[in-house]
Amino acid sequence: MFYYLSLAAALFAIGLYGVFARKNLPGKIVSFFIMYNAVILNFAAFNRFVRGDAPIGLVFIVLILVVFACQLLCGGLLFRQWRSQIRESEDNSLQILK
Amino acid sequence: MGQVEQSLRLSLLLPELALFALVLILTGTFVLRLKISHQLAGYLVMLGVLITGVLVVMTRLGSPDGNLLVNDAGSRFFKLLFLVATFLAVAMDMSFHKNVSKPSISKYSLLMLVLLAMMFLSMSASLLSIYLFLELCTISLIMLASHQFDSNLATKVPQKFLVISVLSSLLILFGFSFLYGLSGAADLIMMKLQIAVVHITQRQIGVIILLAIAAILSGLMLRGGMIPFNAWMHDLHKNLPIPTVALIATALVSAVLLAFAKIFINGLFAFYGPEMNPNDWGRLVAFVAFINIVFGTVQMLRQKDIMSMLFFSNIVQVGFILTGMISMNQHGLQSAGFYLFSVMFSLAGIYAVIGLVRQSTNSTNLGDFKGLSKSSMPLAILTTVYLMSLAGLPILAGFVAKFSVIDAALETAAVDKLYHWMYLLAGAGIVCAAIMLFKFVKFSIALFGRTEKSPLPIQFPAPLIAVFAITALATLFFGIFPDALLSLASQIPQAFGFIIE
């Protein structure tokens, strides 16, 4: 289990570094992916080695994936809104120039 | 027999089911593009919140599903807090609504989703449910924040909100994974027992527990916008519409503090106290409370904008509430609950005042409030009442809140020599409350000062009059007769397993 946890900790640290080092949104999203992998690996390892009566670690993993999907969807919607507003403002600027 | 038991259990979720029905009605109206006026939608939502409130009071206590959710007296207290905060935010939104091009129905359905998530969070008794409902609450709030923007510049704020919330969610999850690994359980009571057993029998979990505490605490601090992670929350305060800011400042911060209490006070009970050094989360959180109180006060003194000033004042209030929580005695938790409720009224009131003035001046500089009494004397008096309550002046609710929190901290400090650091926290609280009072008195005097500017055209819409009436009366009533709210808040320590004297 030590190896799994070490790998998870290393992945989490790399992801955390990436979140702060990257200034653009795609870079941050990739770093979040790495961090999510680390967390999922942690839950999977604990579920495999120290689980109690129920496989709660697996339930956690499913839940994490669902929440992550929601967060990505939310990010996509925000990005679309932002892009349409940029277009709108560009159109307005062109109208003013005309 | 099984069916009867099933229906009995479902009846424990009646308020949440009613609220969910309201969300479905609102979403259905939005999807079917039925035209409902903004006012009608607002009154419908307020009625729904009121009915839910009645159901919360009437619903009996118990666990609807076993160990994920528990409807105890403490959760009932927080449900009422969230309902009142949302009611006031909706009333404010009805008064300040300007953008008629955007449908208000979708906004209100998101608002109700936030409320639903917070109500479920108050019942959560497992790491799984705490994580799920904290995320649902935050995602709905992000969508709500993004709903209310038109300018290009402003859309960056919800994006930042999303990035920060994902990061905080990962930190919390990382900590949760270790707690699950140590205990093999997700429900808080089992986790508390298992971790204590592992600690006593193996005693080799020091680093892991420290990592879990640090990760969860930093995740919650990030989500709640506490110092030093306050920059993003400051942006939100400056850019979002007033009703949403009021909801975030009152309800979201309360939700984060509730999650903190559930995880640390309930789940990690065994690791509180100097004898648990270096895994003692008590001193770590005390340090967080201390920097929030001290740096929040220092930053507050420097602000020229009322929204920024209130934001840093909120940070100081969070520090006080944390002080109450880490006192870890019956009075501490009771006073923290009282504090949350009383501050909510004062904050909602002051944000309503700011919204009214901002409608006329389109600015929130402190200078714009100078001579407010010339425009409207009642508004200037109300502002003074709210600010004095936030600063902790006697006969107002804020005074009782601050007094009881500091009293609880002193009670813990007197227990043993090892807890003497609580004196430092209580001392910092008293000094910073005095400084805050000085700043707010100075500002309040300016409200009644002379000004060359012409009076502002201030109008009081009916929902806003209700907000002012509720908040001002509650601030005065709970200041003069605090026992009513204190007895309600006394259910919180009971729910956390403290023995009531």
A54 DSSP 8-state letter: S
The count of domains in chain A is: 1
- The pLDDT tens digits for A46-89 are 888 876 667 888 999 999 999 999 988 988 888 887 777 777 77
DSSP H helices in B362-395: 372-375, 377-391
Place of tokens 């100078």: B370
Of B94-108, B227-241, B328-342, least confident by mean pLDDT is B94-108
Residue ranges making up the domain that contains A72: 2-97
Question: Are the Cβ atoms of B178 and A64 closer than 8 angstroms?
Answer: no
Q: CA-nearest residue of chain B to A60?
A: B128
Question: Which of A12, A32, A85 lies at the smallest CB-CB distance from B174?
Answer: A12
Place of tokens 């320590």: B493
Please state, rounded to an integer, the average pLDDT across all residues of chain B: 86
As given in the structure block, the two tokens for residue A12 are: 């989490």
B126 DSSP 8-state letter: B
Question: Which of B139, B146, B181 lies at the smallest CB-CB distance from A81?
Answer: B146
pLDDT at B417 over 50: yes
Question: Are the Cβ atoms of B146 and A43 closer than 8 angstroms?
Answer: no
Comparing B149 with B496, the larger pLDDT belongs to B496
pLDDT at B98 over 80: no
Show Cβ contacts of residue B314 under 8 Å, excluding neighbours closer than 6 positions.
Answer: B249, B253, B296, B347
Average pLDDT over residues B66-72: 81
* 3-class SS of residue B305: strand
- The pLDDT tens digits for B204-215 are 667 788 888 999
In this structure, what CATH number is given to the domain that contains residue A67? 1.10.287.3510
- What distance in Å separates the CA atoms of residue B325 and residue B259, rounded to the nearest whole number? 12
- What distance in Å separates the CA atoms of residue A92 and residue B4, rounded to the nearest whole number? 63
Average pLDDT over residues B332-351: 92
Q: Give B137 to chain A, closest Cα distance, Å.
A: 12
User: Which positions 56-85 of A are in contact with B (Cβ < 8 Å)?
Assistant: 56-57, 59-60, 63-64, 67, 70-71, 74-75, 77-79, 81-82, 85
User: Which positions 1-60 of A are in contact with B (Cβ < 8 Å)?
Assistant: 8, 12, 15, 19, 25, 28, 32, 35-36, 38-39, 42-43, 45-46, 50-52, 56-57, 59-60
> Using 50, 70 and 90 to split pLDDT, how confident is the model at B152?
very low
Q: Give B456 to chain A, closest Cα distance, Å.
A: 32
> Using 50, 70 and 90 to split pLDDT, how confident is the model at B94?
confident
Percent of chain B at pLDDT > 90 equals: 41
- The pLDDT tens digits for B426-436 are 999 999 999 99
Q: Give A50 to chain B, closest Cα distance, Å.
A: 6
As given in the structure block, the two tokens for residue B148 are: 């209310």
Cα maximum dimension of chain A: 71
Q: Give B405 to chain A, closest Cα distance, Å.
A: 36
- The pLDDT tens digits for B161-190 are 889 999 999 999 999 999 998 888 888 888
Residues of chain A neighbouring B185 (CB-CB closer than 8 A): 52, 56
β-partners of residue B69 are B124
pLDDT of residue A96: 66
pLDDT of residue B430: 93
Question: Are the Cβ atoms of A67 and B135 closer than 8 angstroms?
Answer: yes
HSE of B272, CA atoms in CB hemisphere, 13 A: 19
- What distance in Å separates the CA atoms of residue B117 and residue B402, rounded to the nearest whole number? 29
Question: Are the Cβ atoms of B169 and A71 closer than 8 angstroms?
Answer: yes
B398: Cα separation from own chain's centroid: 15
pLDDT of residue B422: 87
AA identity, residue B82: F
- The pLDDT tens digits for B8-26 are 677 888 999 999 999 999 8
- The pLDDT tens digits for B386-414 are 999 999 888 899 999 999 999 999 988 88
Q: Give A96 to chain B, closest Cα distance, Å.
A: 17
pLDDT at B155 over 50: yes
Question: Are the Cβ atoms of B142 and A50 closer than 8 angstroms?
Answer: no
pTM: 0.91
pLDDT at B6 over 70: no
Of A1-10, B129-138, B155-164, B318-327, least confident by mean pLDDT is B155-164
- Of the residues B136, B168, B177, the best mutation for testing chain A's interface (the one with the most A CB atoms within 10 Å of its CB) is B177
Beta carbons of B498 and B77 less than 8 angstroms apart: no
Taking CA atoms, A51 is separated from A6, A9, A71, in Å, by 19, 20, 28
With b for 16 or more beta-carbon neighbours within 10 A and e for fewer, the B468-491 pattern comes to bebbbebbbebbeebeebbebbbb
pLDDT at B333 over 70: yes
Q: CA-nearest residue of chain A to B178?
A: A42
Question: Are the Cβ atoms of B158 and A70 closer than 8 angstroms?
Answer: no
As given in the structure block, the two tokens for residue B30 are: 């939005």
3-state per-residue secondary structure call for B45-107: HHHHHHHHHHHHHHCCCECCCCCCECECHHHHHHHHHHHHHHHHHHHHHHHHCCCCCCCHHHH
Rg for chain A, CA atoms, rounded: 20
Percent of chain B at pLDDT > 70 equals: 92
pLDDT at A41 over 90: yes
Average pLDDT over residues B252-272: 86
Q: Give A89 to chain B, closest Cα distance, Å.
A: 8
Question: Are the Cβ atoms of A39 and B170 closer than 8 angstroms?
Answer: yes
Residues of chain A neighbouring B176 (CB-CB closer than 8 A): 60
- Residue B305 backbone dihedrals phi, psi, to 5 degrees: -115, 135
CA nearest to B140, candidates B239, B23, B261: B23
Question: Which of A32, A38, A57 lies at the smallest CB-CB distance from B166?
Answer: A32
The count of domains in chain B is: 1
